[in-house]
Amino acid sequence: MNDREDHEGVSGIAGLSRREFLTVALTAGGGLLLTLNVPSAAGAGAPSRPAGTLNPYIRIDPDGTITLVAKNPEIGQGMKTTLPMLIADELDADWNDVRVVQAQLDPIYGPQFAGGSLGTPLNWIPMQRVGAAGRQMLLTAAAHTWNVPLDECAAEHGTVRHRPSGRTLGYGALASRAATLPAPDLNTVRLKTPAEYTIIGRFTGGVDSPRVLAGEPLFGIDMRLPDLSYAVYAKSPVFGARLVRANIEELKAQPGVRDAFVLRASQPDAAVRMGLVDGVAIIADRWWDAQKALRKLRAEWEPRAASNQSTHAFALEADRLAQKTPQTVLRRDGDVETALAQAHKTVSAAYTYPFLAHATLEPQNCTARLGHDGSLEIWAPTQNPAPGAKLVAETLRIDPGKIRVHMTRVGGGFGRRLNNDYMVEAAAIAQHARRPVKLLWNREQDIQHDSYRPGGFHHFTAGLDAEGRLTAFRDHFITFGQNGRVASSADLPRDHFPAGFVPALQYGQSLIELAVPTGPMRNPGGNALAFAFESFLDEVAHAGGRDPLALRLALYGPARVLPAPPPRYGLRIPPFDTGRVRGVLEEVARRSGWANRDRLPSGTGMGLAFYYSHFGYVAEVVQASVSADGVPHVHKVWAAVDIGSQIINPAGAYNQAQGAILDGLGQALHLLVTLDEGRVLQKNLDTYRLLRIEEAPPLEVHFVSSDNPPTGLGEPALPPVLPALCNALFAATGKRIRSLPIDPQHLRSAAA
């Protein structure tokens, strides 16, 4: 199999590379390649990219085949389908004529990443404009061809029709002429009204799905190249340890092994920065040979243990810090101590949640090939290719202009692949071995070398007035950091609810020193904070004798739009709208029969939670009971979701919401990473227990439409399910869950 075939076949990344783009544009009478000035994918309100920037997203062949480029990585969030849908609708294409190719990393496409549920808000308008500009060029080409006024021409399903005469021309016939026309100004192209959509809003299957089910090699792990070798890379189980010695010569003598060597950390804190760390590379003709040789590795690491880096030690340290004044005050509104002293009633509780691993089902891997000219080509299942290329360039001292990154399909992201440690490892191994290498981590390495969702501890106190209203709120958040700086994804945002909605409030913070890498995991912050805050809010409601729904409605208050925060990610941040909170809370209450929950059988309870994240408003209700041995049984989950005025692809949207809910349930029920003297104890999926099908309850997801631009859905539906479940278990048993994962021992005595 030659290289070219590999390139086409493996990752579907036959994308319009710069070279291909030039080739196509120069082919007279060939295809149309629209060259457009797209504002940086940042969307409205963001600084524009320089005029004249080319944006080749659309190619139309003479036979009418339309090739659309998907700019972002596909990790299962559906953007490879969603973004081309936006282009195709405005292009008035027939979706059956559309073929989608994955872009490689290229600055002409602007930011290319999968994270923060930002694919939709960043690209909703720019991708429509790309399509609308294409339609305008095709209409103009038709008007020129027929020598008729432009406004007598209409586009529909890949065809332009001259209305007065009824003449038609297909896009394939118009493409070469359209390609010679000047590109319209993207900021002034007319976009459709929702009533005119033909593809947006339609149930559309994933563009790669038939190929996945045919077993085609689409994922990073499937990459093939001529003369490819396979590599494993062994690192210290204790994070940040230095390799003292290893039996390299013995490894080299193992069957099938081509080479074995030591690589060194790029910097002292590379472990927590997810860079290249000390390790032993083993290269073999087959991955299995490398994996077998790995079992023969005898390595000495220093230090051999980090005694203060244990789950148990962290809990003791958190207890000690909780007795003290917070090291930092993140936010202070009013006088919380006085308000608590004057409260009719106070409620205090401590909540904690563990470190978690991402456990993407496709283990981390990457393929790299060094060229004769010192260039480096990389095929990576990454969510975030640009920082990966930068990391490789800096670590290996390679000119960034000589690095090409191909984005393969990604077997699950969940935030793990926002970091690119596997990329720099593969590149370093290929550079040292001077041959093309596919690095694949085994599952044990994947679980033991993650960028973990950090654990945390919250010490809450709330003050209530005689009517059960929340008058004071205090949290001493004990989290993790390095040298006084909060670790990645271990922070408490100072505007986190209920801040701004309670007259007296204080968020204090203390840090435990951490030598273990952390990083974003699907809904970073929210996946943990929602559990703590929304469970405690349920305690507040019960302490004050109020319905948890009514308490929330009263706290958020009447429908109003709060002042907009400053722009972030180059994106205008939509203002917080309490009316949208009310909308989803009332919808989920209605759908779940919340008002009638007292009619549920004894031992069955309903719990409610709301969480705002990634611009999405989500309320969820869980109905659950507990078996005699204390195991939670989730009967059903209802969700009401407001992500704006338009669901772009209902097929993807329901799937994302359902998956996020179940992902959260799995975290609440099972997931736990235990640290012991600087290493992770869990090794594989037998002890790191992902949710299985029989544990997935019936789900009802309802979208509440509001007059707001569409926002993302990969993450917002996850957080509320954790507290909704815990609150349901309280309603069912009278037992509070203040520590995750849920311990059946804790619930056993409450079970009937």
Partner 1 sequence: MQFSILINGERRSVEADPDTPLLWVLRDDLHLSGTKYGCGIAQCGACTVHLDGVPARACVTPISAVGSTPVVTIEGIGTHEWGRKVKAAWLELDVMQCGYCQAGQVMSATALLAKNPRPTDADIDQAMHGNICRCCTYTRIRAAIKHAAGLPTADTREERS
Interacting residue ranges for partner 1, rule: CB under 8 A: 75-78, 203-206, 208-210, 212-219, 221-222, 224, 230, 255, 286-288, 359-363, 409-414, 440, 442-443, 635-636, 651-652, 655-656, 658-663, 666, 684-686, 690-694, 696-699
In the chain, the amino acid numbered 364 is Q
Token pair for 359? 């456990």
Least distance to partner 1 from the beta carbon of 327, Å? Answer: 37
Q: Which is nearer to partner 1, 148 or 696 (CB)?
A: 696
Q: Which is nearer to partner 1, 221 or 751 (CB)?
A: 221
Question: 499 vs 474, 502, 531, CA distance in Å?
Answer: 10, 6, 16
Least distance to partner 1 from the beta carbon of 684, Å? Answer: 6
Least distance to partner 1 from the beta carbon of 74, Å? Answer: 8
Q: Which is nearer to partner 1, 24 or 530 (CB)?
A: 530
The secondary structure element, H or E, covering residue 463 is strand 456-464
Distance between CA atoms of residues 647 and 670, nearest Å? 32
The SS3 of residue 553 is helix
The secondary structure element, H or E, covering residue 722 is helix 721-733
Q: Which is nearer to partner 1, 74 or 577 (CB)?
A: 74
Distance between CA atoms of residues 67 and 63, nearest Å? 12
The SS3 of residue 216 is coil
The SS3 of residue 633 is strand
Least distance to partner 1 from the beta carbon of 263, Å? Answer: 23
Q: Which is nearer to partner 1, 5 or 743 (CB)?
A: 5
Least distance to partner 1 from the beta carbon of 430, Å? Answer: 18
Residues 610-642: b if buried by 16+ CB within 10 A, e if exposed: bbbbbbbbbbbbbbbbbeeebebebeebbbbbb
Q: Which is nearer to partner 1, 441 or 480 (CB)?
A: 441
Which residues are CB-neighbours of 122 under 8 A, at least 6 positions away? Answer: 41, 42, 43, 111, 569, 571
Q: Are 609 and 619 in contact (CB under 8 A)?
A: yes
Phi, psi of 422 (to 5 degrees): -65, -30
Distance between CA atoms of residues 186 and 695, nearest Å? 49
Taking CA 372 as the corner, what is the angle to CA 368 and CA 373, rounded to the nearest 5 degrees? 100
Least distance to partner 1 from the beta carbon of 603, Å? Answer: 13
Least distance to partner 1 from the beta carbon of 235, Å? Answer: 18
Least distance to partner 1 from the beta carbon of 665, Å? Answer: 8
Least distance to partner 1 from the beta carbon of 651, Å? Answer: 4
Q: Which is nearer to partner 1, 414 or 480 (CB)?
A: 414
Q: Which is nearer to partner 1, 359 or 499 (CB)?
A: 359
Least distance to partner 1 from the beta carbon of 146, Å? Answer: 40
Place of tokens 């227990």: 689
The secondary structure element, H or E, covering residue 488 is none
Q: Which is nearer to partner 1, 551 or 665 (CB)?
A: 665
Distance between CA atoms of residues 143 and 149, nearest Å? 6
Instruction: State the DSSP code for 564.
Output: P
Closest alpha carbon to 439 in 716, 588, 225, 593: 225
Q: Which is nearer to partner 1, 162 or 409 (CB)?
A: 409
477 pairs with which residues across the strands? 458, 509
